[in-house]
Structure 1
């Protein structure tokens, strides 16, 4: 899987709209389209994807800590927004895109720096114009819950599928 380092390496709009959201996410998982640059900055990757579900693996590093030395809440928020909104993307039809309207994060524990986590997003509603998903961040080894979240995404039809 490669990460786009220039705007030209990102998938163009026509490529994205030529696939369903699930097909696009599968192409990203398989390295056929680049993953977004933020995933390299935040140190996470797409692990698995299916209709209504997206799973990412990540590891916070020293560069992700706050002034007190803990993993910054923005790292949690980024991973939850990613897994939840990408789960919604898996239910978008060909010719459509999504954007996050709002998301909420609840931190339940401190992730140690260097600890691998799994962030899972599951769709609870995938409609014509909105999608709602829940997410969790858990320790990859022990399953300990570190955070939960919920998101609402706007689904926009840009062209006929």
Structure 2
């Protein structure tokens, strides 16, 4: 919706989400099984994906792929997509890549995220594809790397690495 007030145009964006819940069966699923259920819709996506406009499109052992849409609603004060959007997209792909290798009863959390942005993203950049791949998944520590590439232009926009703590699920 667009409105005009005091010579300023205002645009709004709304979205809906399913309230976040962790299904009881998550304790009986491997990380990959859980993520496969997210991708195929048997488990509702986390609300942040609707808020920021991205989704996981593919998952396999050691790999998580997300696609994000760009738009003005993601702009910083200088007129380009805020770096926090790219960091969140990267963190999501990195964490899910790690999760895809975890056995039943194990969980993870990000303890370090290193993001490098190599070119600005604008509303007209088009869809962004983010692929996260594991480098190492051990009993207590996991590492992964990811890249954000424009689906239409094939250009690299950002890349990142992560270190995650791996621990027993409660």
Question: What is the TM-score normalised by the length of structure 1?
Answer: 0.91
**RMSD value, Cα:** 1.3
2:103 equivalent in structure 1: 93
2:79 equivalent in structure 1: 69
Is 1:116–2:130 an aligned residue pair?
A: no
Q: Distance in 1 between matches of 2:112 and 2:78?
A: 27
Q: Distance in 2 between matches of 1:42 and 1:102?
A: 22
Describe how 1:44-83 pairs up with structure 2 within 5 A. 44-83=54-93
Q: For residues 122-147 of structure 1, what are the alpha-carbon distances to aligned partners after superposition, in whole Å with 9 as ceiling and x for unaligned? A: 00001111110001000012210000
Is 1:130–2:141 an aligned residue pair?
A: yes
**Higher radius of gyration, 1 or 2:** 2
Is 1:154–2:165 an aligned residue pair?
A: yes
Q: Which runs of 5+ in 1 are unaligned?
A: none
Q: Distance in 1 between matches of 2:26 and 2:119?
A: 36
Question: What is the TM-score normalised by the length of structure 2?
Answer: 0.86
CA contact (8 A) 2:17 2:50 kept: no
Matched residue SS, 1:125: strand
Q: For residues 103-123 of structure 1, what are the alpha-carbon distances to aligned partners after superposition, in whole Å with 9 as ceiling and x for unaligned? A: 010000112214101001000
Q: Which runs of 5+ in 2 are unaligned?
A: 1-15
Displacement of 1:4: 4.4
Displacement of 1:5: 2.9
Task: Give the paired residue count.
Answer: 154
